[in-house]
C-alpha cells in the first residue's frame, strides 16, 4: 500500500481561518499564516487553502495571503476559491502554490480544466467537488457549487469522470452531509469516486477522531485524508494522528517537523 497523505485544510474568509458545519455557522479560528506554519512544523504532508466566499461573491482570491502562507511552508500547497481563468491559475502558482483547485468555475466552464492542464500540467490542476446526498441522481449524489449555496443538475460520478478526462490530476471530494460534523467521512461516496477514477482522491468532510481517517483510507480507498476541525480546535495533533494510523497498519509519511526531511 502506498503512503497515505494527511492534508490540512484552511478555509479563509475575510483574511481569517474559519470553520463551520455543513457550510453553515462559520466561526473564526485563527490567522491562516500562523496556522499554516504550525501545521507544517507538526508534519502535515500538504495544505489546502480555500477562499470560501470568493466564488459566491464573484471576486478573485486573496493573493497577498497566499504569498504569505507560501513563504512559511515547504510542503505542497493547493489554493482554491474564485479561480476562474488560466490567468488566475498562473497568478496563484506564481504566488507560491504548487496546485490550484477549481470547483464552482469548473462546473460553470469545464474548459478551464483543459486549459489549465495544457498550460501547467495535470499535476497542477485539482478538482474540488462538493457532493450532496440525493437519491434522485444516478450515483446517489448531486454536485453543489458556490460553497454549498447552489445545487446543480450534475451527477457526482458523471462529473468526476468528465473532469478526469479533461485533465485534472487529483480530486478533493467533500461531503456536505458530513462537513464539520466530526462524525466520520462519507465512506460510500468516497469509495464510489475512488473506484471510478484513476487519479488520486482526497477525502474531505467529517473527520473527528483518528479512526475516521483509518476508515476512509482503508475502506473508502482514499489516497489522502483532509482534516480541519480535529486539529483546529485542539483535540488532535498531526503527529498523534500519524502515530494512530501507523499503529493501525496505514502507511504514512514520517516527516515530523521542518528539519527532518
So which residues are the catalytic ones? 11, 130
Residue 207 and residue 228 in contact, taking contact as beta carbons nearer than 8 Å: yes
Residue 139 and residue 162 in contact, taking contact as beta carbons nearer than 8 Å: no
Nearest to 237 by CA among 2, 4, 3, 8: 8
Nearest to 113 by CA among 29, 38, 55, 171: 171
Residue 101 and residue 50 in contact, taking contact as beta carbons nearer than 8 Å: yes
- The CA distance from 164 to 197, in Å, is 7
Beta strands in 141-259, from DSSP E residues, in sequence order: 141-145, 150-155, 170-175, 201-204, 224-227
- The CA distance from 18 to 228, in Å, is 10
**Half-sphere exposure for 25 (CA within 13 Å, toward CB):** 6
Amino acid at each position: 500500500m502506498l503512503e497515505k497523505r494527511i492534508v490540512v485544510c484552511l478555509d479563509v474568509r475575510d483574511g481569517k481561518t474559519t470553520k463551520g458545519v455543513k457550510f453553515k455557522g462559520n466561526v473564526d479560528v485563527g490567522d491562516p499564516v500562523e496556522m499554516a506554519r504550525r501545521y507544517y512544523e507538526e508534519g502535515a504532508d500538504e495544505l489546502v487553502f480555500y477562499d470560501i466566499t470568493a466564488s459566491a461573491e464573484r471576486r478573485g482570491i486573496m493573493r497577498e495571503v497566499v504569498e504569505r502562507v507560501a513563504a512559511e511552508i515547504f510542503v505542497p500547497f493547493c489554493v482554491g476559491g474564485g479561480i476562474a481563468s488560466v490567468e488566475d491559475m498562473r497568478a496563484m502558482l506564481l504566488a507560491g502554490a504548487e496546485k490550484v483547485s477549481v470547483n464552482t468555475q469548473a462546473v460553470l466552464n469545464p474548459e478551464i480544466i483543459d486549459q489549465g492542464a495544457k498550460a501547467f500540467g495535470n499535476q497542477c490542476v485539482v478538482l474540488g467537488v462538493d457532493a450532496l446526498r440525493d437519491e434522485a441522481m444516478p450515483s446517489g449524489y448531486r454536485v453543489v457549487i458556490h460553497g454549498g449555496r447552489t445545487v446543480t443538475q450534475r451527477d457526482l460520478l458523471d462529473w468526476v469522470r468528465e473532469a478526469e478526462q479533461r485533465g485534472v490530476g487529483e480530486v478533493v471530494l467533500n461531503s456536505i452531509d458530513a462537513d464539520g460534523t466530526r462524525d466520520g467521512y462519507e465512506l460510500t461516496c468516497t469509495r464510489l469516486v475512488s473506484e471510478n477514477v484513476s487519479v488520486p482522491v482526497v477525502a474531505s468532510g467529517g473527520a473527528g477522531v483518528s479512526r475516521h481517517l483509518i476508515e476512509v483510507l482503508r475502506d473508502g480507498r482514499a489516497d489522502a485524508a483532509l482534516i480541519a476541525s480535529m486539529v483546529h480546535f485542539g483535540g488532535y495533533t498531526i503527529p498523534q494522528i500519524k502515530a494512530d494510523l501507523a499503529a493501525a497498519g496505514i502507511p504514512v509519511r514520517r516527516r515530523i517537523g521542518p528539519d527532518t526531511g
